[in-house]
Chains A and B, each alone.
Chain A
Amino acid sequence: MGAIVSEENTSTSWLNALEFLLEKGRDVVNLAVLIHKPVEEDQTIRQALDKFIADRRADRSVEPVSTVANTIFPIALYIPRLGPDARKHLYDMSELARPVSRRRNRCGTYFERLVAWPLEGETINQLEKTITRIRRVLERDRRTNNSLELGVSDPRDDESFADAGSVGLAVYRPGRDNRIMGFPCLSHISLSLMDGNLHMTAVYRNHEFIRRAYGNYLGLGRLLSFLARESGCQIGELMCISSHADPEIRRFGYSSLRNLVEECRRSITSAAENLAN
């Protein structure tokens, strides 16, 4: 049975979703997590998760949050002070990094698919096309527009979507990405413009809540922030739907995950008390 978790920032959203999964004590389907301010974090929660992960890095599939977030949006390569050159710098630097990045990520990264979607003999930069589409909508003074849902979008179809307030970013390649688990777990990203705010919906076919979810939320929030800034609108909400959400109880153990949640809760309380004093 599905559920919706709605919270203010990335950290509390992840924490409440994890707590919900632990209460269920098992995997669930159709878990929707709505993050109202997707670029904001609670550092006390982040630190508790970072420590939990660092203590378990002997298993190399357990990666730091920042590493997971970088697969969606490599924030260090985006330098807003470069103004109109910031996007070109981001794309150029990420292309330079690709041969090295590919040694660890043999199938590529999500960001690679967003800026270099593979087609026969060419690649398409979906982000650049998306920014162009949103700017066109805004230039026509249409701060809100009809929703257009794209299942598995073809990035070449940009002209027909020029008037659309919603656009899709393809990540999953039908017929090619046939692994049951593993990359790509993120299937699709949908964007909607409403009252000048850019909102994002992301769909994961399989979502591991310790090794991936927090970093995924963070990376998606940064991607949304980039798209909003570069297309001249405000950052809206992030909705992340996990078709299958896994609390990873078998891998990490129920009690250690409960302890992590309690540690996060204690950290929040402690930080609040420090602020009050």
Chain B
Amino acid sequence: MADNVHQTYGSVTAAGVTQSQLRARIVAGLAQVRAMEEQDLWNEIVQAGGDCQMDSKETEVVISILEHEFDRELAKVEDLEPEQMTTLSAVTNLIMARL
């Protein structure tokens, strides 16, 4: 995983998860949705300047995967507006607020 993708994230959630750890889990989930190697996705993210576009359906799957992992609801109905689910950074912030 590329180190420079994680450099600006330091906050910790009540669940004891840092933002960079959460971001890594989201990327792992997104790689599963896209049926691609996680490392390849990280490379794409680095090439795109540290973020990536996400379709709202991809985001719904990733949230569902993480909800299984953390065994809690991570997005309320008001979080699921399409504009809030379009980038890796936006989805990370969205879930971070609920963890």
Residues of A within 8 A of B (CB): 57, 60, 63-64, 66-67, 70, 74-77, 79, 81-82, 89, 93-94, 96-101, 103-104
Contact = CB atoms under 8 A, between A and B. Distances in A.
Interface string B51-85: 00001111011011101000000011100111100
A82 B35 CA distance: 8
B34 interface: yes
Given A66-B55, A66-B56, A67-B56, A93 B61 contact: yes
B58 A76 contact: yes
A77 B33 contact: yes
Contacts of B65: 96
Given A89-B35, A94-B57, 15 more contacts: A57-B83, A64-B82, A66-B55, A74-B55, A75-B55, A76-B57, A82-B35, A96-B61, A99-B67, A100-B60, A100-B63, A100-B75, A103-B76, A103-B77, A104-B77
Contacts of A75: 55
A81 B64 CA distance: 24
Contact of A100 (B34, B80, B82): B80
B60 A67 contact: no
A271 B57 CA distance: 31
Contacts of A101: 57, 60
Contacts, number: 58
A82 B34 CA distance: 10
- Which secondary structure dominates where chain A touches chain B? helix
Contact of A77 (B61, B77, B82): B61
Chain B interface size, as a band, is 20 to 34
B76 to A, nearest CB: 7
Given A89-B35, A97-B64, A100-B67, A77 B81 contact: no
Nearest to B83: A57
Contact of A97 (B57, B76, B81, B82): B57
A79 B56 contact: no
A171 to B, nearest CB: 19
20 contacts: A57-B83, A63-B82, A64-B83, A67-B82, A70-B55, A74-B55, A76-B57, A76-B58, A77-B61, A81-B35, A82-B35, A97-B57, A97-B64, A98-B64, A100-B64, A100-B75, A101-B57, A103-B75, A103-B77, A103-B80
Nearest to A103: B77
Nearest to B32: A93
Given A63-B82, A103-B77, A76 B55 contact: yes
Given A99-B64, A100-B75, A74 B80 contact: no
Contacts of A103: 75-77, 80
Nearest to B68: A96
A77 B64 contact: no
A183 to B, nearest CB: 16
Contact of A60 (B57, B58, B81): B81
B36 to A, nearest CB: 9
User: Sorted from nearest, which 3 A-B pairs have the closest CB atoms?
Assistant: A76-B55, A97-B60, A74-B57
B75 A70 contact: no
A63 B34 CA distance: 25
A67 B60 CA distance: 12
A72 to B, nearest CB: 12
Given A70-B56, A77-B61, A93 B80 contact: no
